[in-house]
Structure 1
């Protein structure tokens, strides 16, 4: 049999060399990082919404952050111990707990959520606008929040305080979100002095990585395109509520509010998932605005994305822990 032409023999030799050299340069490109989605809830009041959100987490593998307003840990008999800066004692913009039994049920939900790996964080106490508060006034409000959480069982004359509750209240509350997202220029100083590790009071023009400042990691809710015109809105249920109905409650009989919200969430997620995979943040309240449209959209969204193997629906505290100790095994498996 005649020898192969020199050109064919050379080509075969090159192919053989390439195959023996292992994977190509393209195949060695690192895989994209997991897409991080952070879902949080402000106020954290109605017990039934604690239960509903925990059920959603259990079915999707997600972990949430709950920004707690401490006035919901005070019964009508105990509300007088709280006094916000510049206010009379016993005043709150969002009310107080309905009864001692209501407080106890909420405390039990907080402990369950904490035991399930969720992040319990602070939303101050009475939901006042602290944008013009001094550092000392912020420190006073933060102290009220931490003290009332620590002593809530005793303050309300309740039995059944779990072992470890005080340690949890004193050492595990690491994050904060200002009511109305109104932080002011003195909040960071007060948070740093109180030992907080992150602040989630910011707003950004689009999804953005957190920024460290004054010893705190600062997170910002993004503005995302929404609706037929694609106008940007803060990725939070209240802002959608104002956009859709002017802040007035309406039924969502045809599902329009829910569907518009889900479409906006899906589009924002797809942009990051197919792009640079910048962490994506969504904010909610323990309020079923516009007939619960926004919670229903959240549940549909979480059931879709949080169960994917390359998506991590984690809390703010989880994110901070991963950033501080990338190889830590403290943060368990999440997602699919």
Structure 2
């Protein structure tokens, strides 16, 4: 069996076990090119610049697996909202695991992103840059060396994954981390990890990115065009488990955001210094509950298996697409809270969820005032805003439009008049 096949089998086995314990409302999170430049589009409330790296700026790092190549291209330069200005509608499409295998979904969605000017976040699993024969280099917390619930990779898989990561970054998208061995569950999952365990896992995820040339023997390949110690600022934990101690570790290691929790669809706030950009609950059309905005969670509530009834595939995909678009519309016409969507490069139920995501991108990313961005870009926008304005945005409930309109809701607040000075009597 190929490395790609082993990864798919391992994820399918994890899915089959996890589905039994998944609640209908939230559930667990799923388990799981060319290097052309793309133009950036203009945005309401923002000035977007394109910072291309100088040709002579390349500086290899370590064994040459990564390199400093200057500022990342196609990054927005955000401005503070002006008084009374309506916020943009942000949408983040993100991918857990993010490796290129025989399905070629990574390269496909890079093309989709370029077509609709959608920057995305790719959460790389570090073991996808580690060959099977070097698996003992991975020492997972609370597990034996060389253990991984999603397997490892082979040379060609590593070559293909690096190619897609390189191109995605050059197009303006973000490379985050989904860590390494993807251990889930009460008995042996990441929910049992300490702060120090998480620090070890993060350092190892970085190491596999910074040393893939040596580990895979691909010394003639081009480097990844970024310094991963600086590029890596956020993550999503396996199955959304272990968030409490991960956030503590991440805050100490300079991360800027986490997207491992479960939130209502409202404006985010910070948790221990990190932006809490957690997964959100979205409608399931035709059902009386909501689920997480992720392919895996729709699957669990539809078929409970990756190989469900083929006659239902189209319906299930349409249901996911329509649920995501409904969530988008209630925010777009309501509180304008960013919409966070998570996915996996998988062909579950005949690939219907990949079709649903592509149709969602094509529907929402082309609309006025909509910004399909990476988590890094969203965090940059949030950091650029007046904290008092963000606090006011957080008072809006799910889908709630401001009474009196945005011009009134975000109008400048009158200055509080100072009390007149009390005239002191003259001393005789």
Q: Same fold (TM over 0.5)?
A: yes
SS at match of 2:291: strand
Check the 8 A contact 2:237/2:243 in 1, yes or no.
no
Matches within 5 A, 1:58-77: 58-77=114-133
Give unmatched runs, 5+ long, in structure 1: 1-27, 328-336
Instruction: Indicate whether 1:215 and 2:264 are aligned.
Output: no
Residue equivalent to 1:227: 285
Say which of 209, 215, 229 aligns to 1:149: 209
2: distance between equivalents of 1:212 and 1:220?
Answer: 11
Matches within 5 A, 1:313-328: 313-325=372-384
Residue equivalent to 2:333: 274
Residue equivalent to 1:134: 194
Residue equivalent to 2:51: none
Check the 8 A contact 1:132/1:184 in 2, yes or no.
no
Residue equivalent to 2:167: 112
- Quick one: structure 1 residues 164 and 265, their matched pair in 2 at CA, closer, same or farther if it must change by over 3 Å? closer
- Quick one: structure 1 residues 160 and 193, their matched pair in 2 at CA, closer, same or farther if it must change by over 3 Å? farther
SS at match of 2:92: strand
1: distance between equivalents of 2:236 and 2:331?
Answer: 24
Query: In proportion to residue count, which structure has more helix?
Result: 1
2: distance between equivalents of 1:197 and 1:101?
Answer: 33
Report deviation, 1:151.
0.8
1: distance between equivalents of 2:243 and 2:333?
Answer: 35
Matches within 5 A, 1:1-336: 30-47=84-101, 48-97=104-153, 99-128=154-183, 129-162=189-222, 165=225, 167-204=226-263, 206-250=264-308, 252-253=310-311, 255-325=314-384
2: distance between equivalents of 1:136 and 1:224?
Answer: 34
Report deviation, 1:111.
0.8
SS at match of 1:201: coil
Give unmatched runs, 5+ long, in structure 2: 1-81, 184-188, 387-428
SS at match of 1:90: coil
SS at match of 1:78: helix
Residue equivalent to 2:79: none
